Structure 1
Amino acid sequence: MKSPESTGPAALPQAVSPDRAISPGRARTARRAWTVAALTLLALVAGAAFRSTTGALLEPLETEFGWTRSATSGAVTANLVVYGLTAPFAAAAMERFGVKRVVTAGLLLTAAGSALTTVMTDLWQLWVLWGAFIGVGTGVMALVFGSVVANRWFATRRGLVMGLFSGANACGQLIFLPLIVHLAHSPGWRAAALAVALLAALIVPFWLLWFSDRPQDLGLRPYGENPEHPQQDPAPSAVPAWKLAVVVLREAARRRAFWILAFTFFVCGWSTNGLVQTHFIPAAHDHGMPATTAAGLLAIIGVFDLIGTVLSGWLTDRFDPALLLVAYYGLRGLSLVFINTMLAPTIEPPLWIFIVFYGLDWVATVPPTVALCREHFGIQRAGIVFGWVFAAHMVGAGIASSAAGWIREATGSYALAWMSAAVLCGAAAVSLFVIRSRKQAPALRDAA
């Protein structure tokens, strides 16, 4: 005869154990989780591939069609704005329709937009293809998508996984640049556009066959989950994607942590994509350095970025992410103070120090920022909150790109642009002292 205790609370683990019995074990969980991570890396690289083509294709397009720099730059601005603003709505759509469907649509949009540029004849078509098609397509595959996958599939090592995703995105974007430049100037810019379209299209079959939205869909649990403290299973939202994104923004905007994270990521975009990635080559050319040499240095930044971001993810799993961000922004600002004195016709040793350091710090900010979004706003809404934070990143990049160009035209030098970015980095570092890691932070209220 069974004892009364067998039906009490102590028997609860046995009551739920049949659900866990359907899992084939840790080996299958690990294998599937890392397969999903690998597919995510591929999609992020595909998105980054086009991010490398816009700057490389400006001159070839202007030469063939007779378009002005302001006209083609306007299409790039449209691409940046749409890319950034797509991220939070894409995260909401992933909650509503699933990651597989949304990212597949993004890959197809990117492939179609890039391929169609080869047959365009008018400027408005460039704006539509770069802005609408590729802006939305690559916005779906922004780092917000990586944060959703990391939060769903990994209960441990999330920082490391997010570091891999961030490094693949930025590294791919920078390393693809020399290849795109070579294709654009040898076979022609159409070959570069078709290469991007082919890469995006080839990933789709792998994505459809082997990607899964959630481990629970396969009878699995997130990788590294503690059976005694299982994380809440995410469920598809019934709220329309656009409404969910706006509701989460309204709720997040009531908290100081959101504004600090948005400001610091605004500064991150300002000091990386907007300033260094856009203006490093012309700034180096002002000092007599060949453009091809400067482009090669940007590619080297991409190599060290992969190392630095993975290391940052590893550190995020072990230390307070807010304090890590203080160090990252503070050291980045310090490096920007001296860059103007390092540029010369040839590569001098001090410039190598900047290239290595800036590469290690390029997007090292992403893993701790994602961790803070998760800790302060809950795993269910972290992806959408990070989407809005990421939008601030791209707004900062867009403003910095225009501001640095204006400073160069007005003063004949980029010195003020470097110094203003250094000041912003210092302000970002100081602001992070008032936001600390909170492992038990309450989740955002589910407005649905």
Structure 2
Amino acid sequence: MQTESGFYGWRPLSGAILTFLVGSGIFFYSYGVFLPFMSTEFGWGRAATGGALSVTLLAFGLPSPLIGASISRFGPRLNIILGNSLVGLGLVSMSFATEVWQLYVFFGILVGVGTGFGMYIPCTTVVNNWFVKRQSLAMALLLSAGGMGGFVFPPLVTWLLSSVGWQGTWLTLAAVHFTFTVI
């Protein structure tokens, strides 16, 4: 599809890139920055808190066939919006976590399932749906945004933790996530 300014596919790709940057930055690269703060405050062991990330990865990957079916039926846009809203809810909930089991539910399940529905599969579907000639370039741009999330978010989270504490940082990340979901 062409617009007056050129190929329209670059617009949805830009949204997918922002989703990947923010999602990867929070999902993969920021959780470990929180662990020392939360573990120290509540006396949690690293094995217990680290296990929540394992649950997150399982919750992210196991529903993939369901995610694919949902994208086929409703399209990637609705899945991105609903999935990222679930991630935002999980991040807000993390600001209230006081027990280890809450990490498993809020980050492990809500953020994991939400990321599965809202980031990887639907964003790569956007690229596959819009690009034929420059599909490799578009996919490379999308996937490199995930790495950029690892460059941007850990220092940002470290600064936020020292400025507003871990509860305020979770809320800030939720606000960022909700904002980029709307965009």
**What is the TM-score of this pair, normalised by structure 1?**
0.39
- Give the alignment partner of residue 49 of structure 1, picking from 17, 21, 25: 25
- Give the alignment partner of residue 150 of structure 1, picking from 127, 142, 152: 127
Q: What is the deviation of 1:31?
A: 4.3
Q: Cα–Cα, structure 1 residues 29 and 91, in superposed 2: closer, same or farther, change >3 Å?
A: farther
- Give the alignment partner of residue 179 of structure 1, picking from 131, 146, 156: 156
- Superposed CA offset, 1:206-265 (max 9, x none): 3xxxxxxxxxxxxxxxxxxxxxxxxxxxxxxxxxxxxxxxxxxxxxxxxxxxxxxxxxxx
In structure 2, distance between residues paired with 1:203 and 1:108: 10
Equivalent residues in 2 for 1:226-265, closer than 5 Å: none
Equivalent residues in 2 for 1:289-304, closer than 5 Å: none
Q: Give the secondary-structure state (helix, strand or coil) at the position aligned to 1:67.
A: coil
Contact 2:79 2:117 in 1 (8 A): yes
Contact 1:143 1:169 in 2 (8 A): no
- Superposed CA offset, 1:50-90 (max 9, x none): 12221001111111111111110111111122223344432
Q: What is the deviation of 1:96?
A: 1.5
Q: Give the secondary-structure state (helix, strand or coil) at the position aligned to 1:186.
A: helix
In structure 1, distance between residues paired with 2:119 and 2:80: 10
Q: Cα–Cα, structure 1 residues 86 and 199, in superposed 2: closer, same or farther, change >3 Å?
A: farther
In structure 2, distance between residues paired with 1:179 and 1:107: 20
In structure 2, distance between residues paired with 1:83 and 1:142: 10
Equivalent residues in 2 for 1:23-42, closer than 5 Å: 26-28=2-4, 30-42=6-18
Equivalent residues in 2 for 1:122-161, closer than 5 Å: 122-161=99-138
In structure 2, distance between residues paired with 1:69 and 1:205: 35
- Give the alignment partner of residue 91 of structure 2, picking from 111, 114, 128: 114
Aligned to 1:95: 72
In structure 2, distance between residues paired with 1:111 and 1:95: 24
In structure 2, distance between residues paired with 1:85 and 1:47: 18
In structure 2, distance between residues paired with 1:170 and 1:141: 17
What value does the CA root-mean-square deviation take over the aligned residues?
1.9
1:72 maps to a residue whose letter is: T
Q: Which moved more, 1:77-86 or 1:61-70?
A: 77-86
In structure 1, distance between residues paired with 2:62 and 2:6: 33
Contact 1:49 1:196 in 2 (8 A): no
In structure 2, distance between residues paired with 1:200 and 1:86: 22
Q: Give the secondary-structure state (helix, strand or coil) at the position aligned to 1:178.
A: helix
Q: Percent identity?
A: 31
Q: Cα–Cα, structure 1 residues 29 and 100, in superposed 2: closer, same or farther, change >3 Å?
A: farther
In structure 2, distance between residues paired with 1:62 and 1:186: 18
2:80 maps to a residue whose letter is: V
Q: What is the deviation of 1:32?
A: 2.3
2:116 maps to a residue whose letter is: G
In structure 1, distance between residues paired with 2:151 and 2:59: 21
Aligned to 1:80: 57
Contact 2:77 2:122 in 1 (8 A): no
**What is the TM-score of this pair, normalised by structure 2?**
0.90
Aligned to 2:177: 200
Q: Give the secondary-structure state (helix, strand or coil) at the position aligned to 1:119.
A: coil
1:144 maps to a residue whose letter is: I
Q: What 5-or-longer segments of structure 2 have no aligned partner? A: none
Aligned to 2:140: 163
Judging by fraction of residues, say which structure has more helix.
2
Q: Give the secondary-structure state (helix, strand or coil) at the position aligned to 2:3.
A: helix
Contact 2:21 2:145 in 1 (8 A): yes
In structure 2, distance between residues paired with 1:205 and 1:150: 19
Structure (1 or 2) with the larger CA radius of gyration: 1
- Superposed CA offset, 1:160-196 (max 9, x none): 0000000001221333111112222332112221222
Q: Give the secondary-structure state (helix, strand or coil) at the position aligned to 2:9.
A: helix
Q: Give the secondary-structure state (helix, strand or coil) at the position aligned to 1:188.
A: helix
Structure number with greater CO (CA < 8 Å, separation at least 6) is: 2
- Superposed CA offset, 1:263-285 (max 9, x none): xxxxxxxxxxxxxxxxxxxxxxx
Q: What is the deviation of 1:40?
A: 1.0
Contact 2:124 2:139 in 1 (8 A): yes
- Give the alignment partner of residue 68 of structure 1, picking from 22, 45, 54: 45
Q: What is the deviation of 1:197?
A: 0.4
In structure 2, distance between residues paired with 1:53 and 1:88: 27
